[in-house]
Structure 1
């Protein structure tokens, strides 16, 4: 039973990471048009801000706590360690007080989950959009 759990653990981690990565990509499209005040409400205060002729840029840095799981996965000739640690930087471009673009700079130890660590930044905003509590325009 333990071997089965060890073999399935990487699959479960990859599935969760793939889901979070898809959520982050969904946020990239669905949060365009969000007002600045609504962005602060759902994502919090940004770590960095900058202004240029192209607009305002609000940056959120996230390093979620590691899932606490690191399991060796047997492969031919040795093993591969799978861990769920990753980091993310999300930058929102705002023009005239509205989100116009969202950029991700993420690093992940799991394949196919490049932007998974970015999901927590946009997840609350997507929830408020779905509930109709904030509007995009």
Structure 2
């Protein structure tokens, strides 16, 4: 009976994670060209910054709250907890004050949702690009 209750919730969590992963991948392409001031406006102040011959690097670390169901599901030899916990590090490379590349380093407990935890970092920026509040060039 518990499995019948937990299975739809687990599928919903997996679906949301897959959607968030797609948002992160969309951001990797659509935010190239964003000005440094606009990036700071939509993503906030980075956790880390560094400079090299390749440009500036702004890094954002995010650990969103775990989502999912933590009800134990009985299986042979114990139980299984269904939850989606993940962390993400997003690094923006900026050259001449504009985003040139975006890299993700993420961990996920769910398959097919590798970069899902990165979505909150880029989601606000994507919304501002869509509304024309900020522009890529």
Calculate the TM-score normalised by the size of structure 1. Answer: 0.92
- Answer with 38-47 or 61-70: which moved more: 61-70
Aligned residue-pair number? 137
Q: Is residue 68–residue 82 contact of structure 2 (8 Å, CA) maintained in 1? A: no
Structure 1 residue 81 displacement after superposition? 2.5
Structure 1 unpaired stretches of 5+: none
Q: How does 1:18-29 map to 2 (within 5 A)?
A: 18-29=18-29
Structure 1 residue 5 displacement after superposition? 2.5
Structure 2 unpaired stretches of 5+: none
Q: How does 1:1-137 map to 2 (within 5 A)?
A: 3-67=3-67, 69-73=69-73, 79-137=79-137
Q: Is residue 88–residue 117 contact of structure 1 (8 Å, CA) maintained in 2? A: yes
Q: Is residue 70–residue 84 contact of structure 1 (8 Å, CA) maintained in 2? A: no
Q: Counterparts of 2:35 and 2:50 in 1: how far apart (Å)?
A: 17
Q: Given the superposition, is the C-alpha separation of residues 107 and 135 from structure 1 closer, same or farther in structure 2, using an over 3 Å criterion? A: same
Greater than 6 Å deviation, 4+ residue runs: none
Q: Is residue 82–residue 109 contact of structure 1 (8 Å, CA) maintained in 2? A: no
For the residue of structure 1 that corresponds to 2:67, the secondary structure is: coil
Q: Is residue 36–residue 97 contact of structure 1 (8 Å, CA) maintained in 2? A: yes
Q: Is residue 36–residue 97 contact of structure 2 (8 Å, CA) maintained in 1? A: yes
Calculate the TM-score normalised by the size of structure 2. Answer: 0.92
